[in-house]
Amino acid sequence: MKKIVHCSRTLAYALSGTLLSSATLFAAPESICPVPTAYSIRSQGQNEAREQAGLTGHTNIPSNHAIYGTLAATPALNRSFSPGHISVPLFGRDLQTGSLIGITGSKTENRNSKDWLADYFFFPQTFNGAVTFEPRIQSVLMDFDFFLGMDAWASGLFLRLQTPIVWTKWELNPCPNNNNFSINQLFETFADLTHDTHTATAFFDHFCLESAPTTTVVTTQPLRAAKMCGDCQQTKTGWADFHADLGWNFLMDNDYHLGIFARIVAPTGNRPQGKFFFEPIIGNGHRVELGGGFTSHLTLWRSQELERSFLDLTVHADITHMFKTHGTYVFDLCNKPFSRYMIAGRITGANSVDLLAPVANLTRCAVQVSATTQADVVAMLTVAADAFDWNIGYNFWAIGCQTINPCTNTRSVCDECLITKEPWALVTLKKTGDSYTAINNLGDIHQIIPDALDTPLTRITTKNIDYSATNQRGLSNKFFTHLNFSWYDHERWIPSLGCGAEVEFGKRDTCGTKGNHCYARKCCSSCCECRNLALYQWGVWIKGGISF
């Protein structure tokens, strides 16, 4: 266990304190494909497959003008698989073999063009290492579902309420490969660092505690956004979305029903904060949703001899408009993937700076997230035999493109980026006497410490921020099954208990892959209109309920 934690800690800091080299940025056109700075997933509360399973014979039934209903509680576990489907969008073209990222200093011989440059975060210029990733998202939840048939008030009228409480864990699982970072290597980027030597663990702790090495003439600001800390596991607990449906079954019989409903979703999850590289999200990104759908079933076959033996087809679909929201995200600079980890300097003169900070600290901005549309469709067969029901079905889910836009409304909703409050520029540094000379490299980056140039610095502005790289959408196909037993011999209160499983396949993201290259853009418009980010995941659950 200690070895694993040390492995993760060492490289987590190494990754957070490194940057793409110039070769990675500009060597090949496809290399500049933008990478998302946030990862959005399907809300843990949006799962019509799990909601519909086990409800045959308990909801949407003729009730002779009575009040009837069912209350269900469903503990469930979901876990992603196929880590490459997460790491490829996250790290883009910089992945080398499998999920490996090379990390080398500027003086390392035979550097791979995809290697990240270690110098920017004060690693030795001879640093030579690599890291592999196995990203994973896991959620444990308790889903509560209440259905109330109100035929006593109006024939076919029904109400449905649903919400889960969720614990989720997001982990990158980094581990070093041939890392030569020894205990007493010097920081060669700056000659007069206050702390010249550290252990790898001390570096990691130093980074995660938001402290930074300092020089005698310039202050260095720690990384405060897009961090990779601890063993790279981030957890969150809270309520996901609260769903409320009000509907009417205008056709109702033992062998069929057809109804429509209106839906409102109240956001109870969290918003993105941009503090961590792989940030756990519960719910739909804190959006209000409004929409509707239809519910139906048709008995395809019914036994003439046995009282409860039949084959049903259930089709349920909903579509909602997801209203605008806001959140805090970290952004790269246009045409510079992972420039969030570059060094920027606060300008004090034509070519001098007095404070150094990672770009992520400057481009962590509260922004608007556009409105979009979400659809969730279930087709399910039910085989009933006495008290047993077996469901097997298919689920299609999709969400439209969510675009990011700079805030234009009140500051109470959207804060200004630090980059708009003070003059900052991308810099490389070279010591000249008792001071450091800042080098203009916003337009071109070739070395971490080139010869000093006496040219004015180019200030970074919001026009340099690549908002489009975070545009995302999702699409997935799911197959599921559920086995349920109901105690129909109970007349007033009918308990039920069942278990189910599902497997979901997200559409693969193709931005930057072979045949879909990205090229340098004159403005910050994404070469891929929207990134497809949908998980490959499996899930299991136990569903217990009581009907009346």
DSSP-derived secondary structure letter, 9: H
Residue recorded with tokens 């136990």: 542
Q: How many domains, the chain?
A: 1
Buried b (16+ CB within 10 A) or exposed e, 58-85: bbbbbbeeeebbbebebebebebeebeb
Residues 6+ positions from 315 with CB-CB distance below 8 Å: 294, 296, 297, 377, 378, 379, 380
**What pairs with residue 380 in β-bridges?**
314, 393
User: Could you report the per-residue pLDDT of 367-387, keeping only the tens digit for each?
Assistant: 889 999 999 999 999 999 999
Q: How far apart are alpha carbons 65 and 151 in whole angstroms?
A: 5
pLDDT tens track, the chain, 548 positions = 433 333 333 333 333 333 333 333 333 334 467 788 888 899 999 999 999 999 999 999 998 878 999 999 999 999 999 998 999 888 888 888 878 888 777 788 888 888 877 777 667 777 787 778 889 999 999 999 999 999 999 999 999 999 999 999 998 887 766 555 443 454 454 444 444 444 444 345 445 666 676 666 678 888 888 887 656 568 999 999 999 999 999 999 999 999 999 999 999 999 999 988 889 999 999 999 999 999 999 999 999 888 889 999 999 999 999 999 999 999 998 888 888 888 888 888 766 778 888 899 999 988 889 999 999 999 999 999 999 999 999 999 999 998 888 766 545 556 668 888 888 988 764 433 333 333 333 333 333 333 333 456 778 888 888 888 778 899 999 999 999 999 999 888 999 999 999 999 998 776 655 544 454 454 445 556 688 889 999 999 999 999 99
For 351, the domain range is: 2-547
Q: Checking DSSP bridges between strand 537-547 and strand 494-506, what pairing results, if any? A: antiparallel
Residue 273 CB neighbours (<10 A): 16
Q: How far is CA 111 from CA 115, 121, 262, 271, 467, in A?
A: 7, 18, 59, 39, 30
Six token digits for residue 512? 């930057």
Are 412 and 354 within 8 A, CB to CB?
no
Residue recorded with tokens 């995660």: 208
SS3 state at 317 = strand
pTM of the model: 0.85
Residue recorded with tokens 């444990």: 140
Six token digits for residue 182? 């020894």
Residues in the chain: 548
What is the biggest distance separating any 2 CA atoms in the chain, rounded to whole angstroms?
Answer: 99
Q: How far is CA 214 from CA 81, 124, 188, 356, 422, in A?
A: 42, 16, 13, 10, 21
Q: How far is CA 459 from CA 20, 321, 441, 545, in A?
A: 21, 40, 10, 62
Q: How far apart are alpha carbons 244 and 163 in whole angstroms?
A: 9
